[in-house]
Amino acid sequence: MVNKYEHIWRFTVVVVVACCRWKVVVGQQQPRQASAIWVMGDSLVDNGNNNFLRSVARSDYYPYGCDYYRGPTGRFSNGRTFSDILGDWLGVPAPPPFSDPRTAGNRILGGVNYASAAGGILDQSGQHYGDRYPLNQQILNFETTLGQLRTMMSPANLTQFLLNSIVVMVFGSNDYINNYLLPTLYPTRNLYTPEAFANLLLSRYARQVHTLYSLGLRKFFLPGVGPLGCIPNQLATGQAPPGRCVDSVNQMLGPFNEGLKRLVGQFNGGSHPGAMFVYGNTYGVFGDILNNPARYGFTVRDRACCGVGRNLGQITCLPLATPCFIRDQYVFWDAFHPSQAANAVLAQRAYSGSTTDSFPINVQQLAQIKL
């Protein structure tokens, strides 16, 4: 009899632990706060678009997705991405990838994900990886979706539907890592100072965000770039002293992030009536994680959980590689991408953080605001 009870007790413990883990990472299931989410960006939020493209930048193999309930899906994470978890907080299920032929009909009514690994603000960024959807193409793909939506609802209903939806745009990292910081492959470093390059990116970005406004979108979340000088791939270049980040790379990003925040201020200041733009301080939040890892339960911040070479950051996580065991203790999943646990911190701070984390309001307030 004792053995029998012990068996039941053990079973219960396993279930409870599994549930708690899930809850901590995924957040609570929230009531729906937006009609749809449109995700644009790069591999930080790609959820399978590159699976359908001729690209080396792909992650549709194990161990990517080893902590995801559907296994490898093309997410560049061991589990959920930033936009997946932000969607959980907003009560909107992860929208399907645009390039999947099944993304049609009723499936587009909660939004669509256009993000593409290696894609940047500039068309040429990331081109050495092969095909990808840069910002310009992602906007054209959104227009394709709009055409489908027009056949599904009245113009008045579509206007309302877009008004109550949120667009999340995660861009900029590839314009640095896979363009400006690779002067042997791309000419930009020799043509532009860091300030001039940031201005180039921002002028293109401003124009395309404006295009999305003209198409009817009204709620924008625009995170800046994180401290790229601290990712295992940059540490693996050997340019940083032990225990430090590549400061020159981090400093380069200042003009882009500051400019993006300024742009958000301008767009909110009367040039785009009836809309709200929010800047996400990815750099600050990620910096906080790296400076205070223990506060978030991290023990490893300078090495990828899965990868090859110095800092496990020289080559990305390869098919059938063995990842680290306690993945929630790693800030970085692979050479370039945060772990699911780090994505959860970023998403939570974007959703409900202070005005330092999300400016001028957070994503929760963005969802609730009546325009």
Q: Which residues bind ligand NAG (CB under 6 A)?
A: 153-154, 157
Q: What is the rounded distance in angstroms from the CA atom of residue 297 to the CA atom of residue 228?
A: 21
Q: Are 276 and 369 in contact (CB under 8 A)?
A: yes
- Whether 357 is catalytic: no
Q: CB of residue 105 vs ligand NAG: minimum separation in angstroms?
A: 14
CA distances to 27, 64, 145, 346 from 327, in Å? 18, 12, 36, 16
Q: CB of residue 153 vs ligand NAG: minimum separation in angstroms?
A: 4
Tokens of 257: 């992030």
In the set 165, 173, 337, 357, the catalytic residue is 337
Q: Are 96 and 169 in contact (CB under 8 A)?
A: no
Nearer to ligand NAG, 18 or 371 (CB): 371
Pairing outcome for strands 276-280 and 330-332: unpaired
Nearer to ligand NAG, 153 or 196 (CB): 153
Q: CB of residue 154 vs ligand NAG: minimum separation in angstroms?
A: 4
Nearer to ligand NAG, 33 or 348 (CB): 33
- Look-up: residue for tokens 């995924």? 26
Question: 78: which DSSP letter?
Answer: S
Which of 84, 115, 47, 90 has the alpha carbon at shortest distance from 351?
A: 90
C-alpha 176, offset from chain centre: 16
Q: Classify the phi-psi angles of 116: left when phi > 0, otherwise alpha if psi is within -120 to 50, otherwise beta.
A: beta
- Look-up: residue for tokens 């994505």? 343
Q: Are 344 and 298 in contact (CB under 8 A)?
A: no
- Whether 128 is catalytic: no
- Whether 334 is catalytic: yes
Nearer to ligand NAG, 15 or 153 (CB): 153
In the set 302, 328, 334, 357, the catalytic residue is 334
Catalytic residues: 43, 334, 337
